Amino acid sequence: MRGLTDVDYVLGKLRWMEQSRIWPNGSRYLWTDAFGVVLLVSLFHHSGEASYLARAKQVVADVERVLGRRRGLRIGEAPERDGQYFHYLAMWLYALAMLGRFDADYTRRGVAIVRDVHDAFVIPRHGVIWKMREDLSGPYPGYGFGALDAFDGYVSYRLLDPHGLARQIDDMRALIDATYGELFVTQDLGLGMMLWLSHFFPDERWAKLQSRRALATLDRMWCDEKYFCREPDERATKFAFTNYGVSIGLQAVNAQPSRVGALNAFFDSYRSRDHYDRDAITHVMACSSHFPGLLLADNLRAIEPDAR
């Protein structure tokens, strides 16, 4: 299996999170739950233990019950996490695509979400709205187009159903072609996610260019041989969960393994002394960094979608 496979770390972290009511029995948050579902499906793929697949399906049921709306899914359960983010939806679609490799019903659920939300978020020839009102009636006040959202949708759509979602994929590809040459990502998590996105279709021109740019920018952000700072000019700012996202991206393109090991070691004992120390996003992303599993295309290629 490609990437780190520190399963003992992950199992210990999962036990601690559940005992502490952090995840999956804590407050619902779509980004974290998406990574968590992929993690559980990856554990099933790695071990063959059906209980992991059952747990992944239970998380999906809980998310749909708590966050599901007539069209799409709310950002999170907490009152301030209203509205819908497209990049969160895209990550959820990826999770459903992974679960769909073992139960085709989840692929169908993902395709249904795309058909519900795509035309609300996507303005052809302009961009993908970053955040929408919860009922998708219009953009959330104060929000414009997202920089990576077309890339997010393009990858998730293709992994879900490249034929049935051909129109929506073409919409995203047109936006990518119009923007990738001028796009310079500088935020740590954005760089990690761009590396991750680029590795699914590495021969496409956008992927080659953006991967090179991301690696070059990250070189400028490596601090004290321990972690990546938030932005090139914010060297004093660091977050565990965003570094774990960079780790996933680096593992996806098979780059800088020593830095992956160093940041994992650093953040395993780092305490920010704020809410992030107990937030599920920190610990689920840590698990994904230590065991990316089906976040990596090489591991995914070994699984054919369930044809039932």
Is residue 23 within 8 Å of residue 285, measured between CB atoms? no
Is residue 100 within 8 Å of residue 306, measured between CB atoms? yes
Give the pLDDT score at 305.
58
Whole-angstrom CA distances from 142 to 125, 132, 145, 147 are 21, 10, 11, 15
Residues of the chain with pLDDT under 70: 304-308
Q: pLDDT tens, 96-153?
A: 999 999 999 999 999 999 999 999 999 999 999 999 999 999 999 999 999 999 999 9
Give the pLDDT score at 308.
35
Q: What is the largest CA-CA distance in the chain?
A: 52
Is residue 201 within 8 Å of residue 195, measured between CB atoms? no
Give the pLDDT score at 304.
66
**Start-to-end CA span in the chain (Å):** 26
Give the pLDDT score at 303.
83
Helix ranges (DSSP H) in 122-180 = 149-160, 166-179
3-state secondary structure of 25: coil
Locus of tokens 């774990």: 244
pTM over 0.85: yes
Give the dihedral sign, CA 183/186/189/192. positive
Helix ranges (DSSP H) in 48-180 = 50-67, 86-100, 104-121, 149-160, 166-179
Is residue 288 within 8 Å of residue 296, measured between CB atoms? no
Distance CA 43, CA 302 (A): 15
Give the pLDDT score at 33.
98
**Domain-wise residue ranges, the chain:** 1-24+185-303, 68-183
Distance CA 208, CA 195 (A): 10
Which residues does 262 contact at the CB level (< 8 Å), separation at least 6? 225, 226, 227
Give the pLDDT score at 307.
38
